[in-house]
Chain A
Amino acid sequence: MPDTLRRFRSLFLWLAIAPAAAAQGNLELGKMWTFESPPLDYLRDEYGFEPPAGWLDALRMASLRFGDGCSASFVSPRGLIMTNHHCARGQIAEISPEDQDWVRNGFYASSLEDEVRIPGLTVQQLVQMRDVTAAMNAGIAGGDDDASIAAARDRNEAGLLAQAREQYPELQPEVVELHQGAVYQLYLYRVWDDVRLVCAPHLQIAHFGGDPDNFTFPRYSLDFSFLRAWVDGKPAATEAHYFEWSKSGPAEGDLVFVTGNPGSTDRLKTKAQMNHLRDAGYPMIRQLIDNRLGLMKEIAKLGPEQEKQFRTQILTFENAQKAYAGYHSGLLNEPLMARKIRAEAAFKRAVLADPDLRERYAHLWARLEETAAAKTAFEPQRRFHTPGGSKHLARALELVRAATATDPERRQEYLKGAMAVALEASPYDRASFIDHLARARDWLPPSDPFRRYVIGDRTPEQTAALLESSQVGDPEFESRLVAAGEEAIKLSDDPAVRMAVVLEPLIRAKDATSARLSEQESTLGAELGRAMFAVYGARVSPDATFTLRFSDGVVMGYPYNGTIAPWRTSFYGLFGRHAEFEGEHPFDLPKPWLERQDQIDLRKSVCFVSSNDIIGGNSGSPIVSRNLEIVGLIFDGNIEMLANRFVYSDDVPRAVSVHSEAIIEALAKIYNADRVLEELLGQ
């Protein structure tokens, strides 16, 4: 009996503790840690992991920022760089000789001499960080207005950069704003500007599954490529800073680290700001995307020529549709938003509990809520007080501006602008304008001037037809109009001119309000960042800034589709998905992959998932074990991860990587890339 009772109590204890443990920490803000503020306590508590001396420096120095928007790493002592195929795709296309499509057919330099330089491509290695918060805030006093604060910061930043360039002429400086301006860091980069292509697989294996499979898992893409940094005509000596290749690859449950340059997240936004996106921003943009896609698909159905014309744009829109649906679903996800609300309440309580913080920051939530409400109310005007793609209206607008301009130089500019608007409209242009009017009617109130005067009682089709009956485009009409001046133009009975007269002041007012609201929001946001930093300090990770971060995570599957997704996929699945879609594009495979299928070990892993915190910009990021060995290569997230833009969670969201084993299998069995293999495996 006493024993039972003790067990009974311990069950209670377990039940009581479980929710508390989950709420521990501030992981809602993510795990994109900066190297200058590594969360050492957290790593110890969470994993019992204490990075040994030199570990963080080694992790940082082997990591790279790649080109304009990606990440990469050194993976050999001789400057070999690994990144995603999709990170280097544009560059490969540029250097590919016309008769050999290296994107489509792949590329392999069988000797050093065959490596092809990519003009203009650089990779950057973060070699030094310094806190410059004080210097950035120098000369700024409490009561300064928004504009003078911004000017002072610009001055301070220019000074810091000039000083850094003088001090380190060989390095590239950058001032990074963290926590929305609570902290400033000066980052100094070593820039590698001679980068050559070593090896790239076929597009159709790198991008297997195409747009449908994009943002999803289970996945079967070998999205990798290898390049090399050269210095003075020789492979760069990187023996002091590169990642070795893991012999075993990742195992389920392993702690793994990702380094890279996440682009942007919105996790410090308040719930009110998120509500604005949820209720106004995203619904309107999603409606636009849905309707445009519908139009494009209908036109594409008319014939092969139309299909070809819209193919790329349809793919782009489908991708955007998927991404926005993912972001929006995060904001509509009640449990996720409940976490946001709890975290925000805790943060606010901490601010209110400290008299000093309370004095400085307590008002911010209410102010941000007002701003968000104002933005929500204003969103229909921002989106719809525009010519909406009507060529006649756009041209008439420029003419109205010209006619009312007092400065002759401005008048000439407007006229030039008017002449630049070609009036020929494709069926798609016309249909988009009709759609613009239809959506405007849904969102704008009946009293809105755009609704009353541009839309009126007509159907959108009638309005479009009416505008096309305008005389704009007739040189004689246009010169008479511009010469007639402001008063006369108001009396014009040309439909486009009449509508432009109404629309022109609406557009001006809209632009002014837009600018005011976004300035307001960014000033308040910076304050909120300071409050966050004051309360939590370096214990929270700052929103992404496209600068180097590292993120911890665990290799693991997740609940999916009513069942469970495995932690990895294998070559069985790759050939399976190919077979199950009859090899139809985008599930087709390059010829060598089909011809040499029997040489491939089907059991070997292709991709795997982990709970690391990543977002666009992390493409090409290495994923390494605690021994700093490469176990994979980040290239995407699953569909559920899109919601992580606002609140980090790891119950279902996962980062998707190419498994190190898949790269070796491809290099060995398909590409016969012995030289790269030896280099990677250190043989």
Chain B
Amino acid sequence: MAALAALLALSAQTHAQAAPHNGPAAVRTELGKMWLFENPPLAYLRDEYGFAPTQEWLQALRLASLRFGNWCSASFVSPRGLILTNHHCVRDNVADASSEDRDLVESGYYAHSLEDELPLPGLYVSQLVAIEDVTDAVLAGTADASDPGRVEQRRRANEQSILDDAATRHPDLAPEIVTLHQGAAFHLYLYKRYEDVRLVCAPPLQAAHFGGDPDNFTYPRYCMDFAFCRAWEDGRPADTTNHHFSWSGRGAQDGEVVFVTGNPGSTGRLLTHAQLVYLRDAQYPLELQLLKRRLDILRAFVQQFPPLEPALRNIILGDENSLKATQGYYRGLIEPQLMARKRAFEAEFRAAVAADPKLAAKYGDAWQALAEISAAKTALEAPLQFHSPAYSAHLTRALAIVRAVDPRGSETERATARELVPAIQVQVSPLQQALFIDHLQRATKWLERDDPYLVALVGDSSPEAGAIRIAQSRVGEDDVAQELLAGGMAAVEASADPAIVAARVIAPLADANDAAARRLEEAEAVQARRIGRAIFAVFGDRVSPDATMTLRFSDGRVQGYAYNGTQAPWRTTFWGLYGRHNDFDGRQPFDLPEPWLAQQNRVDLGAAVNFVSTNDIIGGNSGSPVVNRDLQVVGLIFDGNIEQLPNRFLYRDRSQRSVSVHTDGITETLAKILDATPLLQELGGVSDGR
């Protein structure tokens, strides 16, 4: 009996251990771990890791971190302005810096001396140097919410004067107002900008992007997705002695606590359950079906007409990538566990609001309002998507003709449409026609049977017949178009041209849909702000705000996970890199640049290439440094695994992982493959000097 008691005590203890995360005082990680530097979750870090960062630590973390352009993250990794980011963050700039006979993206680049560093015009990096809470100033005079338009106007005016004031006070800094918790708080961020950024080292594309689109969003992974740039000031390397990360000699270790800083772009974790249901039942299913069918058609086309492959390749790759991402989000939403956790969190949140009469009065009905808006959006989704000319050039031109003569439109609208007409090329393209037929087929599935669009376009016949009828239109002939335009509304109304007849039906439908969609978006934004204020009122700083493409830090652990019926290791190695290359017979996108093959014998195959951790990241975090408690760089974020995609809606860390380049992989590459000794010394010298 004693043993059983011990057993039961054990399970009770397990629950007790879990309790701090669920208690009212604890941090709620459902909303993620993208922490603000101005509100660091100190109690949580202490409870979770026994780690108590000082203000100096937080400041050092912040000042060594960068926003890279407007789309990525980066960090200073030497006292002389050396910047570490992803290859894919700097790819377009490297392409711009290439010449026709010298493709630096493809071949890679290494500046052997400071003089060889390559200016990247237009590129700048931003360092967050000061933060002020300006919520009151932004919201001043906006208490009366009866006229949303005026509130919005007032708020924008407030923001402008805050920005103007900041510019006067700090002429050397770039100000930005950050909207947090969907508008519950506003912070003024002041950035130091480094506007002379030069390329130091970029590996060849095929090492950085190894595995290409198939391996994108996945792990195990083998990408050398790194690049080094340098900030210059006054014609000299920037002096970053006081704010840079040193290079870890040993890199990330299994089980280690690590921190990621960076600028996550956008998340949807404050979305209510009803808003997620809209995504799950309306937006994503339609989008996924469109992508899948379009890919089927494009692939069939390429198979049928191989010479078209190069022209369609990028469209196909783009669609494949969108399909993968959207499918990832969608899978999360149809996963019962994720939605159950979302419901549980929301129930608790609503109960807390309901329990406080003041909060209940202010925010209590926001969920119901969002549920109604989401239901309306769900109902509007199919009409919004399908009441359009889609891929039919005939219909597109016919619609422009109708709008050009439509008395319901404004003079400007008519003029714009009139100008558009001759620009719309009408050619019979089998591909467009196949895509248009698919549009009509899908419309038949999603729209009501008596929907006016379907009645007009398909009627009693089939989508194929409907498409063929529209293709018989003569609006593509310029004289026919001119005649209609000249004849005005009367001519258009009298026309029996199949595209014109259909366009007359589509125009008012599309206008009504657009107006309804705009109204719903506005209403949704108003309610979303209320939810944001409620979350702030209930949970305060214990939740991390949705991503805003501004600087955050996120805690996590280096850890493998269950995958593919077995386990994924916490890191991959050069063994695996050469293995995946070999197992696909070196075929693209598993080919390797020549130096990688030539130097294989020098490389320590056991050195780590990539690794995974539980840090909370999303697009925008690309290029983020991964640092240990001693603020040494141990890795470089460049992606998440496929399981991480649904973290957009709710953070989990069971099998969701961030994927980083391991510093060992970078060091090994610089030393053995790229022979970048000076760069290595700049990184390593720092570490040795500690």
Contact = CB atoms under 8 A, between A and B. Distances in A.
Interface of A: 1, 4, 7-8, 10-12, 14-15, 18, 209, 212-216, 218, 252, 295, 298-299, 301-302, 322, 326, 426-427, 430-431, 560-564, 566-570, 572-573, 575-577, 579-582, 602-603, 638-639
Contacts of A562: 217-218, 324, 328, 641-642
B624 interface: no
Contacts of B575: 572-573, 575-576, 579-580
Given A302-B6, A572-B578, A603-B582, A212 B567 contact: yes
Interface residues of B, number: 49
Contact of A11 (B11, B434, B566, B582): B434
Contacts of B361: none
B569 to A, nearest CB: 4
A582 B214 CA distance: 27
B571 A580 contact: yes
A295 B203 CA distance: 51
Nearest to B574: A576
Interface in B608-649: 641-642
A399 to B, nearest CB: 24
A45 to B, nearest CB: 21
Contact of B583 (A570, A579, A639): A570
B211 interface: yes
Interface stretch (B116-124, B263-271, B298-306): B298-306
Contacts of A561: 218, 563-564, 642
A577 B569 contact: yes
A576 B567 contact: no
B430 A579 contact: no
Contacts of A302: 3, 6-7, 10
Nearest to B433: A8
B332 to A, nearest CB: 13
Contacts of A18: 300
Given A7-B430, A431-B7, A572-B582, A563 B572 contact: no
17 contacts: A11-B434, A215-B565, A302-B3, A322-B565, A562-B641, A563-B215, A563-B218, A564-B214, A568-B583, A570-B579, A573-B576, A573-B583, A576-B573, A576-B605, A579-B573, A579-B575, A603-B582
Contacts of B641: 562
Contact of B7 (A299, A560, A570, A573): A299
Nearest to B5: A427
A579 B642 contact: no
Nearest to B214: A563
Given A573-B576, A639-B564, 4 more contacts: A8-B434, A322-B565, A561-B564, A568-B583
Counting chain A CB atoms within 10 Å of each CB, the highest count among B218, B254, B328 belongs to B218
Contacts of B565: 215-216, 322, 326, 638-639
Interface in B251-309: 254, 297, 300-301, 303-305
Interface in B551-597: 563-567, 569-573, 575-576, 578-580, 582-585
B428 interface: yes
Contact of B304 (A11, A295, A572, A576): A11
A575 B575 CA distance: 7
Given A14-B300, A572-B578, A566 B563 contact: no
Contacts of A215: 565
A567 B580 CA distance: 11
Counting chain B CB atoms within 10 Å of each CB, the highest count among A7, A561, A602 belongs to A561
A216 B254 CA distance: 24
- Chain B contact residues: helix, strand, loop or mixed: helix
Interface in B3-40: 3-4, 6-7, 10-11
B304 A581 contact: no
A579 B605 contact: yes
B300 A576 contact: no
B606 interface: yes
B218 A570 contact: no
Contacts, number: 126
Nearest 5 CB-CB pairings of A with B: A576-B575, A572-B579, A639-B565, A562-B642, A580-B569
Interface of B: 3-4, 6-7, 10-11, 211, 214-218, 254, 297, 300-301, 303-305, 324, 328, 428, 430, 433-434, 464, 563-567, 569-573, 575-576, 578-580, 582-585, 605-606, 641-642
B583 A576 contact: no
Contacts of B7: 295, 298-299, 302, 427, 431
Contact of A569 (B297, B428, B434, B579): B579
B4 A427 contact: yes
B582 to A, nearest CB: 5
A160 B665 CA distance: 70
Counting chain A CB atoms within 10 Å of each CB, the highest count among B217, B303, B564, B570 belongs to B564
A564 B589 CA distance: 11
A11 B583 contact: no
A312 B249 CA distance: 41
Contacts of A7: 304-305, 430
A370 B401 CA distance: 63
Counting chain B CB atoms within 10 Å of each CB, the highest count among A18, A577, A639 belongs to A577
B3 A580 contact: no
A581 B211 CA distance: 22
Contacts of B464: 12
Nearest to A582: B254
Nearest to B10: A298
Nearest to A8: B430
Nearest to A7: B430
B305 A431 contact: no
Contacts of A576: 572-573, 575-576, 579, 605
A23 B605 CA distance: 47
B217 to A, nearest CB: 6
Nearest to B562: A212
A212 B566 contact: yes
A6 to B, nearest CB: 10
A423 to B, nearest CB: 13
A212 B565 CA distance: 7
Given A301-B10, A572-B579, A575-B575, A10 B304 contact: yes
A589 to B, nearest CB: 12
Contacts of B434: 8, 11-12, 15
Contacts of B583: 218, 566-570, 572-573
Contacts of B571: 580
Contacts of B573: 576, 579-580
A561 B219 CA distance: 8
A431 B3 CA distance: 10
Given A562-B642, A566-B580, A11 B300 contact: yes
Contact of A298 (B11, B217, B297): B11
Contacts of A213: 566
A218 B217 CA distance: 18
Counting chain A CB atoms within 10 Å of each CB, the highest count among B218, B301, B304, B430 belongs to B430
Contacts of B301: 11
Contacts of B563: 561
A129 to B, nearest CB: 37
B428 A4 contact: yes
B606 A1 contact: no
A14 B566 contact: no
A16 to B, nearest CB: 10
A635 B572 CA distance: 26
Nearest to A465: B1
Contacts of A579: 573, 575, 605-606
